[in-house]
Amino acid sequence: MDFILHHYESSPVSELVRIALGIKGASWKSVLIPNMGAKPELAPLTGGYRKTPVLQIGADIYCDSAIIIDAIEAHSPEPTLFPAPLGALARVIAGWAGGPMFGACAVTALAPVADTIPQAFWDDRAALFGFGKERALAGAGHLPTQVETGFAWIDTTLSDGRTYIGGEAPGYADAALYMLVWFVATTRGGAFTAGKPALAAWAARVTAIGHGHRSEITAADALAIATAAIPEVETAVDAASGFTAGQLVTVRTEDPGANVITGRLARLSAAGITILRDDAQVGTVAVHFPRIGQIVLPA
């Protein structure tokens, strides 16, 4: 079954996933989606999940880059995104990249072009994340100093001569950290890699990996693929969680304006969350989330 990535070109987290697909040398289908709003052509698959990107494999829908990485790894094990000696520690590095560093990089990238960005975009981000134009501009003096320090840390790490973050093979950690460098460079060029030769050389190597083998399909094509497929789900609910398999639950991200997704619980463990949704347009789909960053409640 093909990987189908629902994304938009300027999305930094989508770039993380595109690089991961490039590390795999994977063939994948691209569906371009709006960079804001409800995404009505994607909603039948996700139930209204608003963040980007989303990965589709048949009728299995993966929301959030952390669970997307796991899905790519499971369906295409070689070469691994968790090469030794770093291994699973890549998840911790990705958590730092997608957490405190992401916010600093977002402000650093967007503040210089804030007045050229439509107000509708800022309103959308303020509603979802509590992060609007005013907040971005308020942090524009301080947060670039955090980016400068974070990038200096990466440069120091790479200064021992290693080729990639974990050694000689690229992996999830490289994709996650590269996302930050790529995003900042979209408006700042090489300002934050200047004077950091190891970081700049590493970023060039990751860029050269590319995105694998991409082909375009429409949103209608993706919906048809989901309609014709059956979710591949193994029911496994942690007995200590207080939930039971088949229970109707809601899942939402921790973002203040997140949509609530409702479905029947199929999986709940440290490895992630899966709910089954019945949609009039596509039938039954399985929507997968990582465990960290999600709130699960009885419906």
Write the pLDDT tens digit of every residue in 204-261: 999 999 999 999 999 999 999 999 999 999 899 999 999 999 999 999 999 999 999 9
pLDDT band for position 1 (cuts 50, 70, 90): confident
Whether residue 269 is predicted with pLDDT greater than 90 in this model: the reply is: yes
- Burial label for 121, CB within 10 Å (0-12, 13-18, 19+), is middle
Predicted confidence at residue 83, as pLDDT, reads 98
Q: Concatenated DSSP letters for the chain? A: --EEEEE-TT-HHHHHHHHHHHHHT-EEEEEE--SSS--TTTHHHHSS--SS-EEEETTEEEESHHHHHHHHHHHS-SS-SS-TTTGGGHHHHHHHHHTHHHHHHHHHHHGGGGGGS-HHHHHHHHHHHS--HHHHHHTTTTHHHHHHHHHHHHHHHHTTS-SBTTBSS--HHHHHHHHHHHHHHHHHTTTTTTT-HHHHHHHHHHHHH---EEEE--HHHHHHHHHH-------EE-GGGS--TT-EEEEEESSTTPPPEEEEEEEEETTEEEEEEEETTTEEEEEEE-STTEEEEE-
Neighbour-count burial for 187-224, b at 16+ CB within 10 Å, e otherwise: ebeeebbeebebbbebbeebeebebbebeeeebeebbe
Using pLDDT thresholds of 50, 70 and 90, give the confidence band for residue 37.
Answer: confident
- Taking the C-alpha atoms of residue 33 and residue 5, their distance in angstroms, rounded to an integer, is 10
At residue 22, does pLDDT exceed 90? yes
Per-residue model confidence as pLDDT tens digits over 53-80: 999 999 999 999 999 999 999 999 999 9
Return the amino acid letter for 258. A
Question: Which of the four pLDDT bands, split at 50, 70 and 90, describes residue 38?
Answer: confident
Q: Domains along the chain?
A: 87-206 (1.20.1050.10)
Q: What integer pLDDT is reported at residue 130 of this predicted model?
A: 87
pLDDT in tens, 70-107: 999 999 999 999 999 999 999 999 999 999 999 999 99
Q: What is the pLDDT of residue 192?
A: 98
Measured between alpha carbons, how far is 191 from 170 in angstroms, rounded to an integer?
24
Q: Answer yes or no: is pLDDT of 201 > 90.
A: yes
281 contacts 44 by C-beta, under 8 angstroms: yes
Whole-number average pLDDT of the chain: 97
Q: Take residue 14 and report the two structure tokens written for it.
A: 């989508």
Please check the confidence at residue 131 and state whether its pLDDT lies above 90. Answer: no
With a pLDDT cut of 70, the percent of the chain lying above it is 100
* pLDDT, mean of residues 153-164: 98
